[in-house]
C-alpha cells in the first residue's frame, strides 16, 4: 500500500510516496531526497547498516524538522536515510516509528484505511 507523506527541511519541503511497511522498525527516506532538503550524514545521529536477504546497505539516522503522513504530523522526527531498490516508484517506507503512534485499520475489501491517533502514546 502506497501512502502520501511530506517532509520538511532547511531548504523547503517535499511530497513523498511511501510504502506502508509494518515490518520496518523505522521510517525510511531515500538519502538523495534528504540531501535536497538540506540534510546530510554529517548532521546525522549515527551511521547504520540494514541487512536483508540480498545483502547489507549503509545508511544513517537523522532528525527532520517535520514529517507528516496519514493526516498526522510529527516534529523533530527521526528518519532512517537509506537507499531502496530502484524500480518500485517509491521514495521510502512508512515504518513503525511513525505508525506506532496511530491506530490503523486497513479494510482491503472496502478499499479504505481508517486512521486515528493512539491516545496512549
Average pLDDT of span 79-103: 89
**Domain hosting residue 40, numbered range:** 2-117
Give the pTM.
0.86
CA angle centred on 52, ends 9 and 45, rounded to 5°:
30
CATH at 40: 2.40.70.10
Domains in the chain: how many in total? Answer: 1
Neighbour tally for 55: CB within 10 Å: 7
Quick: pLDDT tens for 2-57: 999 999 999 999 999 999 999 889 999 999 999 999 998 888 788 887 776 667 77
Amino acid at each position: 500500500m502506497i501512502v502520501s507523506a511530506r517532509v520538511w527541511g532547511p531548504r523547503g519541503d517535499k511530497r513523498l510516496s511511501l510504502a506502508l511497511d509494518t515490518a520496518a522498525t523505522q521510517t525510511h527516506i531515500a538519502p538523495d531526497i534528504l540531501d535536497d532538503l538540506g540534510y546530510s550524514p554529517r548532521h546525522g545521529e549515527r551511521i547504520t547498516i540494514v541487512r536483508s536477504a540480498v545483502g547489507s546497505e549503509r545508511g544513517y539516522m537523522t532528525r527532520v524538522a517535520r514529517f507528516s503522513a496519514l493526516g498526522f504530523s510529527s516534529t523533530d522526527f527521526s528518519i532512517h536515510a537509506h537507499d531502496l531498490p530502484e524500480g518500485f516508484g517509491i521514495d521510502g517506507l512508512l515504518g513503525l516509528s511513525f505508525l506506532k503512534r496511530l491506530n490503523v485499520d486497513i479494510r482491503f475489501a472496502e478499499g479504505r484505511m481508517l486512521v486515528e491517533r493512539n491516545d496512549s502514546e
